[in-house]
Amino acid sequence: MHEMGIANSVLEAVRTEMGLHPGTYPCKVGVRIGEMAAIDQDALRFCFEAIVHETDLEALELGIEVCPRRHRCQLCGCEFVVHDYDSRCPQCASLATTCISGDELELAYLEVEEYGPSAVGAKSTQ
Ligand SMILES: [Zn+2]
Protein backbone atom coordinates (compact mmCIF):
# COMPACT_ATOMS: atom_id res chain seq x y z
CA MET A 1 0.00 0.00 0.00
CA HIS A 2 1.20 3.43 -1.10
CA GLU A 3 0.17 5.06 2.20
CA MET A 4 2.17 2.56 4.26
CA GLY A 5 5.38 3.70 2.60
CA ILE A 6 4.52 7.31 3.27
CA ALA A 7 3.71 6.64 6.91
CA ASN A 8 7.08 4.90 7.21
CA SER A 9 8.96 7.83 5.68
CA VAL A 10 7.18 10.25 8.00
CA LEU A 11 8.26 8.21 11.02
CA GLU A 12 11.79 7.93 9.71
CA ALA A 13 11.92 11.70 9.36
CA VAL A 14 10.62 12.05 12.92
CA ARG A 15 13.29 9.70 14.26
CA THR A 16 16.02 11.55 12.38
CA GLU A 17 14.75 14.82 13.81
CA MET A 18 14.62 13.36 17.33
CA GLY A 19 18.25 12.31 17.03
CA LEU A 20 19.12 15.97 16.61
CA HIS A 21 17.21 17.02 19.71
CA PRO A 22 18.12 14.75 22.59
CA GLY A 23 16.06 15.10 25.74
CA THR A 24 12.83 15.77 23.90
CA TYR A 25 10.05 13.58 22.62
CA PRO A 26 7.72 14.20 19.71
CA CYS A 27 4.04 14.77 20.47
CA LYS A 28 2.69 15.75 17.08
CA VAL A 29 3.91 15.55 13.52
CA GLY A 30 2.27 17.42 10.69
CA VAL A 31 2.45 16.47 7.04
CA ARG A 32 1.43 18.57 4.08
CA ILE A 33 -0.20 16.73 1.22
CA GLY A 34 -1.17 18.21 -2.11
CA GLU A 35 -4.58 17.20 -3.37
CA MET A 36 -2.97 15.91 -6.58
CA ALA A 37 -0.68 13.58 -4.66
CA ALA A 38 -3.59 11.12 -4.55
CA ILE A 39 -3.13 10.09 -0.95
CA ASP A 40 -5.99 8.71 1.05
CA GLN A 41 -5.91 10.58 4.35
CA ASP A 42 -7.81 7.92 6.27
CA ALA A 43 -5.54 5.19 4.92
CA LEU A 44 -2.47 7.22 5.84
CA ARG A 45 -3.75 7.80 9.37
CA PHE A 46 -4.57 4.11 9.69
CA CYS A 47 -1.11 3.02 8.52
CA PHE A 48 0.58 5.54 10.76
CA GLU A 49 -1.31 4.32 13.82
CA ALA A 50 -0.54 0.72 12.92
CA ILE A 51 3.19 1.46 12.73
CA VAL A 52 3.50 3.45 15.96
CA HIS A 53 1.32 1.02 17.90
CA GLU A 54 3.25 -0.44 20.86
CA THR A 55 6.37 1.53 20.08
CA ASP A 56 7.93 4.46 21.91
CA LEU A 57 6.12 6.73 19.46
CA GLU A 58 2.66 5.39 20.19
CA ALA A 59 1.47 8.72 21.62
CA LEU A 60 2.59 10.64 18.56
CA GLU A 61 -0.28 12.40 16.85
CA LEU A 62 -0.48 12.83 13.10
CA GLY A 63 -1.73 16.08 11.66
CA ILE A 64 -2.63 16.17 7.98
CA GLU A 65 -2.80 19.39 6.05
CA VAL A 66 -4.16 19.23 2.51
CA CYS A 67 -2.97 21.79 -0.02
CA PRO A 68 -5.23 22.62 -2.92
CA ARG A 69 -3.93 22.67 -6.46
CA ARG A 70 -2.74 26.16 -7.35
CA HIS A 71 -1.78 27.65 -10.67
CA ARG A 72 -0.08 30.88 -11.65
CA CYS A 73 -1.03 32.78 -14.79
CA GLN A 74 1.89 33.39 -17.13
CA LEU A 75 0.30 36.55 -18.49
CA CYS A 76 -0.91 38.49 -15.48
CA GLY A 77 0.81 36.60 -12.66
CA CYS A 78 -2.44 35.89 -10.86
CA GLU A 79 -2.26 32.89 -8.49
CA PHE A 80 -5.42 30.90 -7.98
CA VAL A 81 -6.85 27.64 -6.72
CA VAL A 82 -7.96 25.26 -9.45
CA HIS A 83 -11.47 23.85 -9.14
CA ASP A 84 -12.80 20.99 -11.26
CA TYR A 85 -9.66 20.87 -13.43
CA ASP A 86 -10.44 24.30 -14.85
CA SER A 87 -6.97 25.80 -14.97
CA ARG A 88 -7.98 29.01 -16.77
CA CYS A 89 -6.90 32.30 -15.20
CA PRO A 90 -9.88 33.81 -13.34
CA GLN A 91 -8.54 37.31 -13.98
CA CYS A 92 -7.68 37.39 -17.70
CA ALA A 93 -9.08 34.02 -18.87
CA SER A 94 -5.69 32.95 -20.25
CA LEU A 95 -5.07 29.23 -20.57
CA ALA A 96 -1.31 29.73 -20.20
CA THR A 97 -1.07 28.89 -16.53
CA THR A 98 1.43 26.71 -14.69
CA CYS A 99 0.92 24.50 -11.71
CA ILE A 100 2.78 25.87 -8.67
CA SER A 101 1.53 23.59 -5.92
CA GLY A 102 -0.78 20.72 -5.18
CA ASP A 103 1.47 17.67 -5.33
CA GLU A 104 3.35 18.27 -2.09
CA LEU A 105 4.25 15.54 0.27
CA GLU A 106 6.37 16.96 3.01
CA LEU A 107 6.86 17.24 6.71
CA ALA A 108 5.16 20.47 7.76
CA TYR A 109 6.07 20.59 11.44
CA LEU A 110 7.10 18.55 14.42
CA GLU A 111 5.99 19.47 17.91
CA VAL A 112 8.32 18.27 20.63
CA GLU A 113 8.28 18.42 24.38
CA GLU A 114 11.09 18.15 26.83
CA TYR A 115 11.31 15.15 29.06
CA GLY A 116 10.20 16.37 32.44
CA PRO A 117 10.11 17.29 35.13
CA SER A 118 13.13 19.42 34.52
CA ALA A 119 15.61 19.63 37.37
CA VAL A 120 16.11 23.31 36.73
CA GLY A 121 13.45 25.42 38.38
CA ALA A 122 11.31 22.44 39.33
CA LYS A 123 9.51 22.98 42.62
CA SER A 124 8.32 20.36 45.02
CA THR A 125 4.71 20.66 46.16
CA GLN A 126 5.39 19.07 49.54
ZN1 LIG B 1 -4.16 35.94 -16.01
Residue at 75 is within a domain: no
Considering the domain boundaries, does residue 74 fall inside one? no
* Centre of ligand 1 from the C-alpha of residue 90, in Å: 7
Residue 8 covered by a domain: yes
List beta partners, residue 63. 30
Q: Structurally, how many domains does the chain consist of?
A: 1
Flag whether the pTM goes above 0.85: no
C-alpha–C-alpha distance, residues 59 and 53, integer Å: 9
Report the CATH number at residue 24: 3.30.2320.50
Each residue's pLDDT tens digit, 47-106: 999 999 999 999 999 999 999 999 999 999 999 999 988 999 999 999 999 999 999 999
pLDDT tens-place string over residues 5-55:
999 999 999 999 989 988 888 999 999 999 989 899 999 999 999 999 999
Residue 51 is assigned to a structural domain of this protein: yes
Measured in Å, residue 88 CA sits from the centre of ligand 1 at: 8
How many angstroms is it from 36 CA to the middle of ligand 1?
22
d(CA 78, ligand 1 centre) in Å: 5
Cα 47 to ligand 1 centre (Å): 41
Find the DSSP H helices in the chain: 2-20, 41-52
Between the CA of 67 and the centroid of ligand 1 the distance, in Å, is: 21
Residue 48 CA to residue 42 CA, distance in Å, equals: 10
